[in-house]
Structure 1
Amino acid sequence: MFQLDDKFLQDVGLAGLPADQKQAFLEQVYASLEERVGVRLSEGLSDAQLEEFEGIIDRKQEKIDAWLAVYAPQYTADPIFQRIQQATGLQPDDLALRSEFAATKWLEVNRPNYRDVVAQVMNELKAEITQNRDAILGSAQAPQQLPADQQQPPMAA
């Protein structure tokens, strides 16, 4: 998998981004990645599938329970569930944990290529950032210019 961190910034040529802007930039990259992956994954899915997945990620207990009963009735024994539980520290009956697991398994059932899609979108996004790094760094490091009507006239000597 990938990490959005200082190494990512280094990989795309943005290690020189001002420290106070790094986290905001990484959050923006994550939001863009999430949106692009969602669009790509939704292609070819039926309205019923999209509604089912939406219910799972929106943590609607009845949707999660119904889906797990059919596709993963012994979910607590699933190694993926156990890894998510260990990583989050949540109890097995926690709705957030069950939702995360159900969403992961839903993708495995309905979009078995989802990891490839995420990797492809991530590579596309990295290439886009790399191509625009000079502009990104330039706008991040340029002093904030006031509009002409708000600038102070130069001081007379």
Structure 2
Amino acid sequence: MITLSPELLSDAGFVNMTEEQVRLALQDIYNTLELRVGRRLANKLTQVQLAQFEKHISANDERAALGWLDDNSPNYREVVHEEYQLIIERLNGAIEAGARD
């Protein structure tokens, strides 16, 4: 399970951030992760499947949406993990690039 917490940012080298900056950064990471995972999964689904999944999302039924993903896109957890790792690598790269400047 992936947890987005202030420690994620500090472990990546982002320190001395205000609470608001941390909140905004974590929200941005979450939104980016959601978008990237969604794109990858959507590329492998039919229009009918997309409509079915969207129905659960629109109803704010997270449990049904996750169940649907388990049935129709069983590798979604792997996709989430892969995209999460890519985001972490970018965060670490940003800190390293900043240290060189």
How many residues end up aligned between the 2 structures?
Answer: 98
Residues 88-136 of structure 1 deviation map (CA, whole Å, 9 limit, x = unaligned)? xxxxxxxx4xx11110100000110111110000000110111012567
Q: RCO greater where, 1 or 2, for CA within 8 Å and sep 6 or more?
A: 2
By percentage of residues, which structure has more helix?
2
Identity across the alignment (%)? 35
- Corresponding residue for 2:82? 120
- Corresponding residue for 1:26? 26
- Corresponding residue for 2:93? 131
1:1-150 equivalences under 5 Å are 1-14=1-14, 16-19=15-18, 20-59=20-59, 96=60, 99-133=61-95
Runs of 4+ in 1 over 6 A off after TM superposition: none
Q: Which amino acid aligns with 1:18?
A: M
Q: Say if 1:117 and 1:26 are closer, same or farther in 2 by CA, change over 3 A.
A: same
Q: Which amino acid aligns with 2:25?
A: F
How many Å separate the matches in 2 of 1:48 and 1:122? 27
| Cα offset, 1:10, TM superposition | 2.2
| Unpaired segments ≥5 residues, structure 2 | none
What is the TM-score normalised by the length of structure 1?
0.58
Q: Say if 1:50 and 1:131 are closer, same or farther in 2 by CA, change over 3 A.
A: same
| Unpaired segments ≥5 residues, structure 1 | 60-95, 138-157
| Cα offset, 1:55, TM superposition | 0.9
1:132 match: secondary structure: helix
Q: Say if 1:136 and 1:41 are closer, same or farther in 2 by CA, change over 3 A.
A: farther
Q: Say if 1:136 and 1:107 are closer, same or farther in 2 by CA, change over 3 A.
A: farther
